[in-house]
Amino acid sequence: MAAAPVSNPGLDLSWLNLDEWGARAEPGKRGLTLDDLITFGDAPVDANPAAKIGMRGAAPDPRSPRHRNQYRTKADVWSESARLLYEEAMQRQWASAVDIPWEEVKPLPDDLEMAMCTLCTFLTQVEFIAGDLPGRFMGTVHPDQFETQLFLGSQLMDEARHEDVFRKRALVNGGGLVDAGFGASNLLTADDFTEMTARLHLIGEGFVQTIFRMGELISTNEAEKRIYRLSAQDESRHLAFGVTHLKYLMDVEPARAEELHHYLDIQEGAIGQSNGSLTTNPATGEALAILAGGGLDKIDEGFQKLMIMRKKQINEYMHRLEVIGLSDRRDRMAPSMKMFLEPIV
């Protein structure tokens, strides 16, 4: 229905076009989510050739400047789970100031406190990088794929919280920030969205997830357990984003497989040097072993537990590669990781 003609010369009213009027999004069981809006316009498969700034579904404006988007296809930045993961992130935010029972942290023997502070210093740097890197890519996502940008925004919030919670734990019990080690700094060389996703989301965050799970097991009080449990819950979303982005890319642009292998070569090369310590930093590996064993005198026992986690870590990584469509990585994996792979049954 077109608007009634108006003769007042002081008005424009060219915007008052009711021809495409009538959208009525219906809330579902989980409220009015982004999934409930998708019938009003999904992300186009090809990138907007004009690459102008304009929101998907809205009328284009010829005055709009070009967006700095550097990507050509939807697959460059898309994840089929971005909408769902963003909504989940919005509903599961927590605040380290009030959601961690800090009073439960009790004095520990020096070896255990020093080990926990070493782990937390390492993690606070890892989390800084895990926020810094996606932050760089937020501005490269065109509004046609706005769900990806929303997800990245939620990830930045999660990583900010992780960065602060591990800093708080290091400072709350008589220890402090110590030697951070290398702390995943090499990830900052990633220069492409998919390179970031392969190296950070798939490998980096997959491996940090194992540390969080181990952290919960080796914690000595409810505050630490909750820190690791809640952080692991957030990390699962980041990991899922990475896996679903890479899977989408492999589904629609399988010719990019070698490019993905190249990214994995780089990151496995960095991780593979850790010799089973779960991290790129020897100090962190030793600290984890002290915590896992229950003291410096039981570090051997701790290393045995670490090796079990390492095996689990590598096999979970392989499983994710299979989901993505990169089963052939089994033969190409860095030798120091490949040795932990379970044979195919």
Token pair listed for 182? 């290398």
Binding window for Fe ion (CB under 5 A); candidates: 95-103, 162-170, 244-252, 296-304: 162-170
Asked if 103 and 164 touch (Cβ cutoff 8 Å), the reply is no
Q: Does 162 bind Fe ion (CB under 5 A)?
A: yes
Residue 142 or 167: the one with the smaller Cβ distance to Fe ion is 167
Query: Which is closer to Fe ion, CB of 43 or CB of 239?
Result: 239
CB proximity list for 326: less than 8 A, separation 6 or greater:
246, 250, 257, 260, 261, 264
Exposed e or buried b for every residue in 49-82, given b needs 16+ CB within 10 A? eebbbbebeeeeeeeeeebebebeebbbbbbebb
SS3 call for 177: coil
Residues 6+ apart with CB under 8 A from 25: 32, 36, 37, 40
Quick check: 259 and 247 in contact, CB under 8 A? no
In the complex, the smallest distance separating the C-beta of residue 247 from Fe ion, rounded to whole angstroms, is 18
Looking at the Cβ atoms of 34 and 156, the one nearer to Fe ion is 156
* Interaction of residue 225 with Fe ion, rule CB under 5 A: no
Which residues does residue 31 pair with via DSSP β-bridges, in sequence order? 28
Rule CB under 5 A: is residue 88 a binding residue for Fe ion? no
| Residue with Cβ nearer Fe ion (199 or 238) | 238
- The residues that bridge with 300 in the sheet, in sequence order, are none
Size of the site for Fe ion (CB under 5 A): 7
Q: Which residue has the tokens 């009073």?
A: 103
Stretch that binds Fe ion, among 2-10, 170-178, 238-246, 334-342 (CB under 5 A): 238-246
User: CA torsion 134→248→246→85, rounded to 10°?
Assistant: 50
The yes or no reply on residue 201 touching Fe ion (CB under 5 A) is no
Please, what is the minimum distance in Å from the beta carbon of residue 238 to Fe ion? 4
238 contributes a contact to Fe ion by CB under 5 A: yes
Nearest-approach distance from CB 230 to Fe ion, in angstroms: 11
Among 195, 205, 224, 286, binds Fe ion (CB under 5 A): 205
| Interaction between residue 169 and Fe ion (CB under 5 A) | no
Residues 117-136 that bind Fe ion (CB under 5 A): 127, 130
Of 69 and 280, the one with the shorter C-beta distance to Fe ion is 280
Q: Are 198 and 260 a contacting pair, CB within 8 Å? A: yes
In the bound state with Fe ion, the residue whose beta carbon lies nearer, of 66 and 92, is 92
- How long a stretch of residues is the chain? 345
Least distance to Fe ion from the beta carbon of 243, Å? 13
| Other CB atoms within 10 Å distance of the CB of residue 99 | 13
The least CB distance from residue 132 to Fe ion, in Å, is 12
* Shortest CB 201 distance to Fe ion, Å: 8
Burial (CB count within 10 angstroms: exposed 0-12, middle 13-18, buried 19+), residue 164: middle
Stretch that binds Fe ion, among 135-143, 203-211, 245-253, 334-342 (CB under 5 A): 203-211
DSSP state of 55: -
Q: How far is the CB of 225 from Fe ion (least distance, A)?
A: 17
Specify the stretch interacting with Fe ion by CB under 5 A; choose among 30-38, 80-88, 152-160, 252-260.
152-160
167 touches Fe ion (CB under 5 A): no
Contact set with Fe ion (CB under 5 A): 127, 130, 159, 162, 205, 235, 238
